[in-house]
Amino acid sequence: MLYQRSSALFKEAENVIPGGVNSPVRAFKAVGGTPIFAKSAKGAYIYDEDGNRFIDYINSWGPMLLGHAYPPVVEAVIEKTKAGTSFGMPTAIETEIAKLAVSMVPNIDKIRFVNSGTEACMSAIRLARGYTKKDKIIKFAGCYHGHSDSFLIAAGSGAVTFGTPNSPGVTQGTAKDTLLARYNDIDNVKALVNANKNEIAAIIIEPVAGNMGCIPPAEGFLEELRIICSNNDILLIFDEVMTGFRLAKGGVQELKGVNADIVCFGKVVGGGLPVGAFAAKNEIMNHMAPVGPVYQAGTLSGNPLAMAAGLAMLNAIAKDKGLMNRLEEKTKYLHNGITEALNKNNVAHTVNRIGSMISVHFSEQPVVDFESAAKGNNDTFKKFFHGMLNKGIYIAPSAFETWFITDALTYQDLNETIAAVEEVAKSL
Ligand code: KE4
């Protein structure tokens, strides 16, 4: 693979954009080398500025559940654009997508659209604090809820990659209200709750973690979290920015049958345009301004183009009865192929998988929390990443991310990917 054009573009970008990127995870810092500049994408494939084609397993970090440039989304955005791009006034399409989302997701009456997953999770925490009149929150080491101050404490995703879990700029005043728990360790949660009686507003969790690689909840873990929250007047917040509308039409609440008090969305809900959202029952959501006292706002919240993309996406998901099963089958097929290819070459590894989320960890131990995820062999991962890239397979440039399977992937694409794993495994 040649990357001359990407290299030149990266040098130019570094002069005017910090690190040459608008989001750190894109900078390849965790794997070394020069970031690839995308030129276009269609279905399961991304085409870079040097004319290379990649089978894409990042898919914009999750939104492209149905593949890139999905025609109903593209057509909806083009049509909407012709009528104007933003008004700063309510529009009918916001109600349309809100009604559809409320009909798909269990246990919510109202939803507020914002512009990113960060904004959704940040607003959800403010709502929980305003509703419960308590200040502290519990998050889990390795979970990532976006870059607002309360969350940059042992965050996952790019924050881990940079090894600076507590980002400079986050004040002690903020950090003291964020308590850290271990994922899948319910006794640790109980101890924190007991040590901070009547002070905790919310527990926020990725109900299936995706920012330390993919880590499903242990059997009964979410159910026990629910009981702890109900017994201690704590709101349970599911950050479903990654899992929402991906692991089931109703997300993990539907998949696992556990109800959260507030649910956050992003990625898929915007169909590739900037959309986040948070939702809850009336009792909680009616605390949001202008009907209630908890303030939150946004010039481009509910932007008509973004709503058009999201509505086209949710309509397609809602109507496609076989979608989730097809995604699950493709991911299972890939899982089996990867395991066979790595075992054939005696490469120590663990594959975590649930629905259309999968991650490969170069560790012999089970990966069940941030500590065990961090024990993966990062040097092996770097070699694996670049080996796959040079074979035209684009996976996340960090061991602390998830591969995202899309319905646009064919079994031929999966076989090509598995063959690449087998080839690359020989050099690991
Ligand atoms: P955004 O603000 O990036 O839209 O969403 C933040 C967020 C919140 N919650 C979860 C579970 C998330 O995964 C994310 C964002 N995910 C990362 C990738 N792991 C975004 C990629 C990036 O930072 O560029």
179 and 256 fall within a common domain: yes
Clarify whether residues 60 and 176 are in a common domain.
Answer: no
For 282-291, the pLDDT digits (tens) are: 999 999 999 9
Ligand 1 touching residue 242 (CB < 6 A): yes
Indicate if 380 and 237 belong to the same structural domain.
no
**85/51 same-domain check:** no
The radius of gyration of the chain's CA atoms, rounded to the nearest angstrom, is 21
Q: Quick check: CB of 211 below 6 Å from ligand 1?
A: yes
Cross-strand pairs, 137? 178, 202
Catalytic-labelled residue, pool 48, 56, 177, 239: 239
**Ligand 1 centroid vs 33 CA: distance in angstroms?**
23
Residue 175's pLDDT band, with cuts at 50, 70 and 90, is confident
The verdict on 360 and 390 lying in the same domain is yes
pLDDT in tens, 122-136: 999 999 999 999 999
Domain closes at, from 295, 319, 343: 319
Does 153 share its domain with 190?
A: yes
- CATH no. for residue 133? 3.40.640.10
Q: Kindly give the distance from the C-alpha atom of residue 145 to the centroid of ligand 1, in angstroms, as a whole number.
A: 7
Is the CB of 207 inside a 6 Å radius of any atom of ligand 1? Answer: no
What pLDDT shows up at residue 334? 98
Consecutive H or E run containing 159: helix 157-161
210 lines ligand 1 (CB under 6 A): yes
Residue 423 tokens, joined: 């080839």
Are 306 and 374 members of one domain? no
pLDDT in tens, 225-281: 999 999 999 999 999 999 999 999 999 999 999 999 999 999 999 999 999 999 999
The C-alpha atoms of residue 46 and residue 37 are separated, in whole angstroms, by: 10
One domain, residues 34 and 90: no
CA-to-CA distance for 117 and 113, rounded, in angstroms?
A: 10
Same domain, 271 and 332: no
Q: Where are the alpha helices (DSSP H) in 166-286?
A: 172-175, 186-195, 221-231, 251-256, 282-285
Residue 146 alpha carbon to ligand 1 centre in Å = 5
Q: Is 144 labeled as catalytic in the residue annotation?
A: yes
DSSP state of 405: -
Give the model's pLDDT for residue 160: 62
d(CA 28, CA 10): 11
- Is residue 20 within 6 Å of ligand 1 at its C-beta? no
Q: What is the DSSP letter of 37?
A: P
Q: At what angle do helices 411-425 and 323-344 cross, to 10 degrees?
A: 20
**Nearest ligand 1 atom to alpha carbon 157:** 19
Tell me the per-residue pLDDT of 35-75, one tens digit each, with 9 for 90 and over. Answer: 999 999 999 999 999 999 999 999 999 999 999 999 999 99
How many CA atoms within 13 Å lie on the side-chain side of 231? 9
Mean pLDDT of 167-190: 92
For the Cβ of 144 lying below 6 angstroms from any atom of ligand 1, the answer is yes
> Are residues 45 and 116 located together in one domain of the fold?
no
304 lines ligand 1 (CB under 6 A): no
Nearest atom (ligand 1) to Cα of 117: 5
Both 364 and 224 in one domain: the answer is no
Q: Which of 211, 237, 247, 402 to mutate to test the pocket of ligand 1 (most atoms within 8 A of CB)?
A: 211
For residues 427 and 88, the answer to whether their CB atoms sit within 8 Å is no
Query: CA nearest 130: which of 336, 284, 319, 15?
Result: 284
* Strand ranges for 53-169 from DSSP E: 53-56, 110-114, 136-140
215 Cβ closer than 6 Å to some ligand 1 atom: no
Note whether 8 and 103 are same-domain residues. no
Q: Which pLDDT band, with edges at 50, 70 and 90, does 1 fall under? A: confident
Number of domains in the chain: 2
Q: Which domain holds residue 333?
A: 4-69+321-425
Burial class, 290, CB count within 10 angstroms (exposed 0-12 / middle 13-18 / buried 19+): exposed
239 tagged catalytic: yes
Q: What would the pLDDT profile of 290-334 be if each residue is shown by its tens digit?
A: 999 999 999 999 999 999 999 999 999 999 999 999 999 999 999
pLDDT confidence bin for 174, thresholds 50/70/90: confident
32 CA to centre of ligand 1 in angstroms: 21
Chosen domain end from 319, 348, 377? 319
- Ligand 1 pocket check: which of 28, 118, 183 to mutate, most ligand atoms within 8 Å of Cβ? 118
Residue 425 host element (H or E):
helix 411-425
Q: DSSP for 179-204?
A: EEE-TT-HHHHHHHHHHTTTTEEEEE
Q: Domain holding 357: CATH number?
A: 3.90.1150.10
User: Ligand 1 centroid to 357 CA: how many Å?
Assistant: 15
Residue 152 CB partners (closer than 8 Å, separation 6+) = 159, 165, 166, 167, 170
Displacement of CA 8 from its chain's centroid (Å): 30
Which of 319, 348, 378 is the last residue in one of the domains? Answer: 319
Ligand 1, residue 116: give the atom nearest the CA.
4
